[in-house]
Amino acid sequence: MSYKGKFTTFKNPDKYIGDKENVIYRSLWERNVMRWLDENPNIIEWGSEELTVMYEHPVRGGVAKYYPDFIIKDKTNQVRVIEVKPEIQTHRPVNPGRQTSKYLREVMTYAVNQEKWSTAKRYCRRNGIKFEVWTEKKLKELGILSWETDRSVLMAESKDSKKPKMKSINIKKPNRPKRRS
């Protein structure tokens, strides 16, 4: 399930370098990073999807736009471009032996990510910027991601939500005849 929304809970809005009315997160991890950047005293400026990098799309061809998740500047004036991704998307998928649609999607995602990141790294190198991919390992290391934090945030938000709660229903599956090979 995807977790999307607008980040509106700025504690330090002057640190944000973009349109504060349109800060979109596309995952719970990104939202947690936004909160961390906003509240971290070592971060003096940050933006979300404020940088555009043009790259050659390896699947459909042609030029495409890549918007890295974050651009940040810390107290040492080091500028970094950050992409937040699950660790599994940073490695080439293991070939299952047959070409399933899931495997093909994973291969395409990997190829697109690799092209985006290699182009972004070249751009950053030319401009004296660091490019980093933050996975769940880095997020945990920084204290941004923890099971308890995510669980408590989700619980608090579900209490505040105006959406009706869905009941859990046990449905017995009908007996179906076994398929012949």
Q: Given 85, 121, 136, 138, which residue is catalytic?
A: 85
Pick the catalytic residue from 15, 38, 49, 69: 69
Q: What is the DSSP letter of 42?
A: T
Active site residue 74: no
Q: Which fold has domain 5-157?
A: Trna Endonuclease; Chain: A, domain 1 (3.40.1350)
pLDDT in tens, 22-79: 999 999 999 999 999 999 999 999 999 999 999 999 999 999 999 999 999 999 999 9
> SS3 of 149, please?
helix
Per the CB < 8 A criterion, the answer to whether 53 and 65 are in contact is: yes
C-alpha–C-alpha distance, residues 28 and 51, integer Å: 21
Task: Using DSSP, state whether 76 is helix, strand or coil.
Answer: coil
> 150 an active-site residue?
no
Tens-digit pLDDT profile for residues 106-137: 999 999 999 999 999 999 999 999 999 999 99
| Residue 143, token pair as written in the block | 């204290």
Could you count the other beta carbons within 10 Å of the beta carbon of residue 98? 6
Beta strands 70-74 and 63-66: pairing type?
unpaired
Residue 85 known to be catalytic:
yes
Measured from the Cβ of residue 111, the count of other Cβ atoms closer than 10 Å reads: 14
Q: What residue type is 165 in one-letter code?
A: K
Averaged pLDDT of the chain: 85
Kindly report the pTM of this predicted structure: 0.78
Q: What percent of the chain has pLDDT over 70?
A: 80
What local confidence, expressed as pLDDT, does residue 177 receive?
54
Q: Residue 74 and residue 20: Cα distance in Å, rounded?
A: 19
Confidence at 145, pLDDT banded by 50, 70, 90: confident
- How many angstroms separate the CA atoms of 133 and 33, rounded? 13
Structural domain boundaries in the chain: 5-157
**Looking at this protein, which amino acid is placed at residue 51?**
L
Show Cβ contacts of residue 22 under 8 Å, excluding neighbours closer than 6 positions.
Answer: 6
Helix (H) or strand (E) holding 151: helix 147-160
